[in-house]
Amino acid sequence: MKNDPDAAVQEEANLVQAALRFLLFRHASRPGVPIPRSELGAALSAAREGAHLHQSVSQIVPLKARWLLASRFGILAREVTRSTKPVTLQSQVEDDAPASQAGTKQRYYVLESLVPARLAAAAPLDTGAGPRRALLIAVLSILHLAGGRVDQDELWHHLAELGVHKGDRHHPELGSVDECLELFVAQWYINVNKDRSGSGEGMTYSIGGG
């Protein structure tokens, strides 16, 4: 049985979106902390429910995710390599460890803004609105990766991965989470759409625009 090329393309696109979500959410939760490439690989394997990633897929997906980060979000995912040398009695005594104890090299991603420093300085951020702005960026990123529109249950599912839960009125940084989303709607950042189908009436969120 031949492989379905359309299914393969869709699977790759889904993995690229999963890689984008992982990098963005990890950077938002621990800004400035290098992200091990191995953890991205584990996240992609989890997205495929533990199925083995072909070597070509494991290489092309991070490249496409990094390109989308730069072209759509203005974020550079710079890859760096760090050598880890095992700690032994001899390496503690001597400055130079033997070649056999050179250790291993691990690759990391460091996310940096591509916005020029002069432009960023000309538009300082209101630090008091930091948590709400972070939530807004997360919501808009989810909508963007989903093609501009997402079902409310799916949106809350992704936000729950960030520790933001529907109905939470006492979030330590955001206060009422539902009120934050209502504010984003009032500010036209996002739209709420009621969709009717055979199973009843549902609700979706989409990117605003006036």
Rounded CA-CA distance 136/129 in Å is: 11
Rounded CA-CA distance 112/102 in Å is: 30
Architecture of domain 125-210: Orthogonal Bundle (1.10)
For the chain, the structural domain boundaries read: 1-87+98-115, 125-210
CB distance 154 to 146 below 8 Å: yes
pLDDT tens-digit profile of 15-53? 888 898 888 888 877 777 889 999 998 888 887 775 556
Q: What percent of the chain has pLDDT over 90?
A: 12
The token pair at 151 is 């079902």
Q: What angle do CA 74, 75, 78 make, to 5 degrees?
A: 145
Phi/psi region, residue 124 (left: phi>0; alpha: psi -120 to 50; beta: rest), is beta
Asked if residue 79 has pLDDT above 60, the reply is: yes
Query: What pLDDT does 46 receive?
Result: 84
- On average, the pLDDT of the chain sits at 79
Architecture of domain 1-87+98-115: Orthogonal Bundle (1.10)
pLDDT tens-digit profile of 153-178? 999 988 888 888 998 988 888 889 89
The token pair at 56 is 């070509």
Asked if the domains at 1-87+98-115 and 125-210 fall in one CATH topology, the answer is: yes
